[in-house]
Chains A and B, each alone.
Chain A
Amino acid sequence: MKHSPLRIAARIVASLPVYALLLASAAVILFPLYMTVVDSLQPVTKLLTYPPDFWPGSPQWSNYRAAFTDIPMPRYMLNSLIMASVITLGQIATSILAAYAFSFLRFPGRTIIFFIFLSTMMVPWEASIIPNFQIIQRLNWLDTYQGLTVPFLATAFGTFLLRQQFMTLPAELKDAADIDGYGNLRFLFFVVIPLSRAAVATLAVFSFLQSWNQYLWPLLITNDPHMRTVQIGIASLQDQEVQRTNVVLAGTVIALLPMLFLVVAFQRFLVRGLTAGAVKG
């Protein structure tokens, strides 16, 4: 009778102080988000009054409609979606290929090349951003999706993550595939990838989250308001649209929601990646 309702009730009562701490901490963590949601539902005049309201008197849901009509949120969201999707798919493709070579192929220089891959993790993106900007400028890729995505299509972290997974597959699989006359691509697509779906999903969650949330690079290489990502969009609007702060806040909530969903729904993968990534900087 380990799980009788009575036992569970007794445990909950005994844990009341812990629950109190949990609730208080959760309230503190969620407070900034809560206040943003409250203010995004206020008329703009209410945002400038003291004392601040902790509850929207009559929620003004039209702010959320205005985010789609009065400020260019749809365009920002589309740009971010395209950018993050291309980067995610690209990183998955390049990482799968490279990780396959490092796990299943023998070739001269394999170890050295693997260390070259790893060494890219020690170069902070900010340290090479000026020449990267010049490259994109010279290619005439400012204000383009290529400029937003191509520099990020390869990832040492992803390669490393997938290689770790591929190495757990038994060597006999490869032997059997060789005997059956499978080429590398067939073995990769029909055996390795189906067995590594969780690791690929982990990489996908990471890539998408990271690229959706990028700030410095899209700020540098986009000038055209039509090419702005949602991060740059809301940051510049909160500066310019003082008369519509409530609408910009609605936009901020809209920008956060997809990532919040991603993090909550794929928490398992996130934890996996972070603990595997204990080597990542």
Chain B
Amino acid sequence: MTVAAARARRRSRQLRQLVAAAPFVLPSLALFCLFVFYPLLRSIWLGFHATDPFGRREVWVGIDQYRDVLTSSDFRHSLLVTGQFALYTVIGSTGLGLYLALLVHRRLPGIILFRTVFTSTVASSVAVSSVMWLLLLNPGVGVLNYVLGQGGVPGANWLTDPKWALPAIAMTTVWMNVGLATIVILAGLQNIPEELYESARVDGAGPWSQFVHVTLPALSPTLLFVSTVGVIFAFQSFGQIDILTKGGPLDSTTVIVYSIYREAFLHYNVGLASAQAVVLFVIVLLLTLVQFVAAQRWVFYR
């Protein structure tokens, strides 16, 4: 057989393989192209264009708009707000999730019931959670201020005081996310081999020392995963802001996605909003890569 004939046969075999695989892969691939890749590229493209105040004409302004976004005090402010929000929610839900997971990581009658309760907030949507918390946070008749008052602590105008609005929203978000954190951390705890604890006990380690020298190191990839996902979630938050404060008071809760939404769909400034959306994309991309690299490097014990 000649080389050319062999190559032709290989070609036709590959073609047959492609034809056979196409019906399996193309539905997803087509949807991704239309609703993920094309829109992403178009966001970048729109970011190079300024929109006039009536949202009609798009004028090429090149890189200027991206530079404006990155240097504008409004956008820097919303980055800062989002960063703070990420800090509050990640510390809150990872810490609380670790506590709850440790609490239910034991064999006791009825423990399944508590596991179910602690993980149940996964079911709650951002809209349902926000409507529920709106009630508790009401400064006049809400339960939170009442309970605080009983304890002699003055309450606050949670959602209308610029000092408290972001922490209050973070609190509702922690409640919403803690179920997820608990599930993942509990699974991490259950994956720690029992032998590690046995050898620690042989070495005379008490419960605290076991926690510090066995549990925490073995759990660190899980905690890292939960925290990074938490940061990514925070950078994508929108619903609780829209329902509870609409970005206010005094922009104290204007996170990035709320800012994008407001520019694009309330002010019709599509170009500026797109430039912000691209910055959001880059941030989330970097966070994902950090998580990926860290996960590789931190898989450590043994």
Contact = CB atoms under 8 A, between A and B. Distances in A.
Interface of A: 8, 11-12, 15, 18-19, 21-22, 25-26, 29-30, 32-33, 35-36, 39, 47-52, 54, 93-95, 97-98, 100-102, 105-110, 113, 116-117, 120-135, 150-156, 159, 184, 209, 212-216, 219-220, 231-232, 234-235, 238, 248-249, 252, 255-256, 259-260, 262-264, 267, 270-271, 274-275, 278, 280-281
Interface of B: 14, 17-18, 20-21, 23-25, 27-29, 31-32, 34-40, 42-43, 46, 99-100, 103-104, 106, 108-109, 111, 114-136, 140-143, 146, 175, 178, 180, 183-184, 187, 225, 229, 232, 235-236, 238-239, 242-243, 257, 260-261, 264-265, 270, 273-274, 277-278, 280-281, 284-285, 287-288, 291, 295
Contact of A113 (B25, B108, B134, B136): B25
Given A126-B238, A232-B127, A120 B32 contact: yes
8 contacts: A22-B103, A36-B132, A130-B277, A259-B123, A267-B119, A270-B122, A280-B229, A281-B284
Nearest to B180: A274
Chain B at the A interface: SS class: helix
Nearest to A108: B14
Contacts of A219: 242
Contacts of B119: 263, 267, 270
Given A29-B178, A130-B274, A267 B116 contact: yes
Given A32-B132, A130-B264, A107 B103 contact: no
Contacts of A101: 21, 24-25
B183 A123 contact: no
A128 B36 contact: yes
A159 B295 CA distance: 22
A275 B225 CA distance: 11
A102 B235 CA distance: 32
B242 to A, nearest CB: 7
A107 B14 contact: yes
A67 B214 CA distance: 52
A247 B288 CA distance: 42
Given A29-B178, A107-B20, A154-B27, 8 more contacts: A25-B100, A32-B136, A47-B135, A98-B29, A231-B239, A235-B127, A255-B128, A281-B232
B24 A120 contact: no
B12 to A, nearest CB: 12
A215 B24 contact: no
Contact of A127 (B136, B141, B183, B280): B280
Contacts of A124: 232, 235-236, 280-281, 284
B103 A271 contact: no
B300 to A, nearest CB: 16
Contacts of A213: 124-128
A126 B256 CA distance: 10
Interface centre among A127, A260, A275 (most CB of B within 10 A): A127
A249 B136 CA distance: 13
B187 A274 contact: yes
A110 B260 CA distance: 36
B141 A29 contact: no
Contact of A18 (B27, B108, B284): B108
A13 B126 CA distance: 40
Contacts of B31: 94, 150-151, 153-154
B13 to A, nearest CB: 10
Contacts of A249: 131, 135
Contact of A108 (B18, B46, B111, B123): B18
Nearest to A15: B108
A96 to B, nearest CB: 9
A215 B229 CA distance: 19
A16 B261 CA distance: 50
List the 6 closest A-B pairs by CB distance, nearest first. A213-B125, A128-B39, A131-B39, A101-B24, A127-B281, A154-B31
Given A113-B25, A281-B284, A235 B108 contact: no
A234 B130 CA distance: 10
Nearest to B264: A130
Contact of B125 (A50, A52, A255): A255
B209 to A, nearest CB: 20
A122 B183 contact: no
B131 A234 contact: yes
Nearest to B237: A126
Contacts of A39: 135
Contacts of A107: 14, 17-18, 20-21
B124 A259 contact: yes
B236 A263 contact: no
A135 B39 contact: yes
